Amino acid sequence: MRYSPALIDHFRNPRNAGLMPSPDATGESEYAGCGDLARFYLRVRAGRAADVRFQTYGCGPTIAAASAGSELATGRRVKELMGLDRDAVEEALGGLPPDRKHAADVVAAAIRAAARDWVSRHV
């Protein structure tokens, strides 16, 4: 499978990359198979992820998945993010080759972790 145009665009032009000063929540996940890591920061307003930033270390598909995941998360209710699955991230990328599906896993898990962090502090 070739990489989709969406994946290539997110890799070449990552959205929402970088640190967030004083985030309301943080979450991270790592894929032990290769050491890919994603860390997400949320700024929450009225129960929604008003601003989402990420840092990631790993392969191109993981960087692209983090970018796509940040767009998926922005504007959503935090409680909804607690159920974000890898399929939504993979779909936003236009698919992933079988040996790169871990990219969607690590990103979805990091977003869920950030959502859980916020909920644990505010509910």
**What is the CATH number assigned to the segment(s) 5-122?**
3.90.1010.10
- 107-117: pLDDT as tens digits: 999 999 999 99
What confidence tens digit (pLDDT) does each residue in 72-117 have? 999 999 999 999 999 999 999 999 999 999 999 999 999 999 999 9
Domain ranges of the chain: 5-122
Q: Are the CB atoms for 110 and 80 separated by under 8 Å?
A: no
Distance CA 45, CA 49 (A): 7
Q: pLDDT tens digits for 10-33?
A: 999 999 999 999 999 999 999 988
Helix or strand run (H / E) with residue 113: helix 102-122
- Look up the pTM and report it: 0.96
C-alpha 58 chain-centroid distance: 13
Residue-level pLDDT at 92 = 97
E strand map for 17-119:
25-31, 36-45, 48-57
